[in-house]
Structures are given as structure tokens and as C-alpha cells.
Amino acid sequence: MKTLFIILLILGGSQVKGQSEVEQFENFLKDSTLSPKDYIFKLFEKNDIVILGERDHRETTQYDLILEILTDERFINQIGYVYTEVGVINKNDCLNSVLKSEYSTPEKFEKSLIEVYRQLMFFPLWDKYNMYKYLKGVYNINKSLPIEKKITVGLTDCRFEWTEMNFSKYAEFYKNYISVEALNTRDSIMAYNFMKLYEKQKPINGKRKALYIQNQPHAINVEVINESIKIKTVGAHIKENYMESASIVLLNWYKYDANLFSDYSLIADGKWDAAFKLTNYNPVGFNLKNSPFGETSLDYNYDRNLIYEDVADGFIFYKPFYKFVFEVGIPNVVDEDFSDELLRRTSIYFGKGSKVSNEIIKSPEKAKKKLSNTYNNVRTVRVSEIRKLKKQLNEYF
């Protein structure tokens, strides 16, 4: 009986200890009442630019929130411009032409969108379904608006044209702009492209305002020397130029190896997600400064002891990690006419003499069929580490 009492005491003590570590986060969330959407618009009352730190490029539920923001009359009447990391800058005019035009049938719009979509990135095709979902969503908002109020989208990635590419030109482009070594260069170009487009915006109610969607590693405000390499993110460039008129807001995510998208674990050893669970996963937005969340050590702090409030201004919780949806594939993006071009791009991307290029040369029809099935098939991608993350979260309960 005495042994059982000791065991229960130990277990009870462990539970209290786990819960007490979460309590400061839980109490803060209980006092935070702004919805994610209202938090964004609260920021726009004092800020001209809000950078939203997107989680995994494949994750689609975050775009439900983004489209909810864009649909709001406050966005339409006071802001009107939304930018993304995804998409090369030289395709802005043709994309906005599609998104602001009128079509007699949904099929005619989708055909026009697909033609532009094929040109959006410097990969053979951008297969992340959320971008397609987002662009269709913008069109659906625009089609009910007068021309002067239609939302304008902005693509900010490096200039690129597939029609100009061959093996040697692409290899040079990859080396200079896409490789890990060129990360700093690409961030500076994306920031410059955004600022160039932003400064050309037509003011609404006398002010220029913009929402800028950037993947979190680019969105955060970091300028450091790490292993003799200077790292300056998109967020750092924009903060430097617009200072207090720009805010960076991060969406809830989890930790991962930035190079391999592996080694997943929850932020703060799961304390954040435990607090979200204890507050019934209420969607919420809040400032990081003077909060326990802001005082949490940054996952990748470059040996600088950085905390979250050093690199971002705000945070949004929107859906628990186990309800994230990862989708790839774009309906009807590859047809018979485009399939030859896709073979050419794929061969260029992987390089002359590569295994993929050799397989294309050996059996082009087989390669066409395989690529068409891969890109046209919209499907959910299973993240096997979710079970590991759930186990980490459940340690607090």
C-alpha cells in the first residue's frame, strides 16, 4: 500500500510539474481575445505592411485563413494588395490580367489560370495545391467587385523565363539564385522586388498598405554572420527600410531541420501546443513582446541566444498541428500539348546526363505518363512524424 502511494505521488508530481511549465502560456492565451483575422486588421491600423510567416509550403488550411482575410471588406476597401514569395516577378501582369478579367464559364477561367500557372516558378512545375487554391480564391473575390476595387496580387521571386532556358543557363541560374549558397542573394532580391512593387502601388484612401506572404525562414527578421556567411532575410530587409510601419507575424508551426524537412519536434518541447490544447485550440492572434511566447528561445538562433520577439512582432494560432493538411498536385495542369515542354523542363532541371534525363531520352512516352499522373493528381501527403509530435504533446496530459 505504501509503495502504491509513492508511485501515485510521483505520477501526480510529474503531472503537476508538466502542467505548471505550461501554465504561463495558458494564462496568457486566456487573456488574448483577438481572432487571427481581427488581429491582422488591428495591426494594419498602425502598420502599412504586414508580413505573414507561412508554414510548410504544402499546407493548405493556412490559406483558408488568408482567403478569409482577403474576403473581408476591410481588406478590399483599405488594403487591396497581397504579395507572395511564390511566383516570379515577371509574371505579375499576365497573372493579374487573368484574376481581374471576366469569363463566361469557370472552365474558361481555369484554362487561362493554368496557362499562367505553368510559368510561375523556376521549377518544372509548382505542385503545391494551396497556391492554386489561393489564386482561384482571389479570382472568386474579384469577380464580384468593380474594377477599381479588385485585389491586386504580387509575385516577388527572382525573374525567370522558361523559354530562355537550356542546360547551361539553368545550371548558372540555380547556382546564383536557388542553391543554399545563394540563399542570401535570393532573399535580397525578393525583398527588393516587393519594395519596388509596393512603392508603385496606387494609394487607397491616401495610404499604401500590403499583406506579404513569405515562408517563415524568409519572413523572420534575422541579420547575422553565421559560420562566416552573412544571413539577411527578407524580413530583415523590409524591417530595415520600413521600420515600425512593418510587422512580422508568424503562423503556428513546429520545428524541423531547415535543410532536410526532417527531425520534427514541437516548439518549446511541446509547451506551446499544450497551452493551445488547454485553451480549446481557440484561434487567436497576439503580440509577442512582453509575452511568454516572445521570450521563448528561437529554434534556429545561429548561436545568438535569439528569442521569438527578436525576430517577429506577432503570432497567430490557427488549427492544431495534427489538423494541418498537406496537398500537392494541380488539376489538369498537364495536358498533351504541354507534356513535351514538361519533359524538356524536367530534363533541364535535373541536368544533362542525370538519371532522370536519361530515362526521358530512353522512353519519353513513359516519362510523359508518369509526370502527368504526378502533377495532375491532387492528393494529401502524409507526414509520418505527426505521430511523434502527438506523443510529445501528450506528455503534458
| Reported confidence tier of residue 9, pLDDT bands at 50, 70, 90 | very low
The yes-or-no verdict on residue 40 having pLDDT over 70 is yes
H/E element, 11: helix 2-30
The yes-or-no verdict on residue 338 having pLDDT over 70 is yes
Residue pair 233/212 in contact (Cβ under 8 Å)? The answer is no
Residue pair 185/237 in contact (Cβ under 8 Å)? The answer is no
Write the pLDDT tens digit of every residue in 357-393.
Answer: 999 999 999 999 999 999 999 999 988 889 999 999 9
Buried b (16+ CB within 10 A) or exposed e, 283-303: bbbbbbeebbbbebebeebee
H/E element, 30: helix 2-30
Pick the closest to residue 322 from 240, 253, 227 (CA basis).
253
pTM: 0.93
Cα torsion angle, 90, 104, 142, 251, sign:
negative
Q: 61-71 and 129-142 helices cross at what angle (nearest 10)? A: 20
Q: What is the pLDDT of residue 225?
A: 86
Strands 229-232 and 49-54: unpaired
> Helix, strand, or coil here: 174?
helix
- Under DSSP, the state recorded for 178 is I
314-317, strands of its sheet edge to edge:
152-157, 81-88, 210-215, 49-54, 246-251, 314-317, 284-287
Pick the closest to residue 128 from 324, 326, 325, 328 (CA basis).
328
Residue partners of 75: CB distance under 8 A and separation at least 6:
41, 69, 151, 211
Share of the chain above pLDDT 70, in %: 94
Q: What is the pLDDT of residue 197?
A: 98
Pick the closest to residue 22 from 269, 266, 295 (CA basis).
269
Q: What is the pLDDT of residue 230?
A: 84
CA distances from 135 to 25, 95, 122, 140, 224 (A): 36, 9, 18, 9, 35
Write the pLDDT tens digit of every residue in 286-313.
Answer: 999 999 999 999 988 788 899 999 999 9
Q: What is the pLDDT of residue 19?
A: 66
Pick the closest to residue 278 from 20, 17, 22 (CA basis).
22
> Helix, strand, or coil here: 374?
helix
Could you please report the per-residue DSSP string of 113-126? HHHHHTTSSSSS--
Could you please report the per-residue DSSP string of 246-280? EEEEEEP--B--TTTS-S-B-GGGGHHHHHHHHTT
Residue pair 190/218 in contact (Cβ under 8 Å)? The answer is yes
Pick the closest to residue 318 from 75, 24, 52, 46 (CA basis).
52
d(CA 232, CA 243) in angstroms, rounded, equals: 15
Rg (CA), the chain: 23
Say which residue the cell 494594419 belongs to: 44
CA distances from 249 to 103, 288, 314 (A): 36, 9, 4
Stretch 206-214: mean pLDDT = 98
d(CA 330, CA 114) in angstroms, rounded, equals: 9
Which of 181-185, 220-224, 311-315 has the lowest average pLDDT?
181-185
Report, in this order, helix, strand and coil percent for the chain, each rounded to 5: 55, 15, 30
Q: What is the pLDDT of residue 299?
A: 84
Write the pLDDT tens digit of every residue in 141-170.
Answer: 999 999 999 999 999 999 999 999 999 999
Average pLDDT taken over every residue of the chain = 93
d(CA 244, CA 46) in angstroms, rounded, equals: 9
Pick the closest to residue 36 from 256, 212, 240, 282 (CA basis).
282
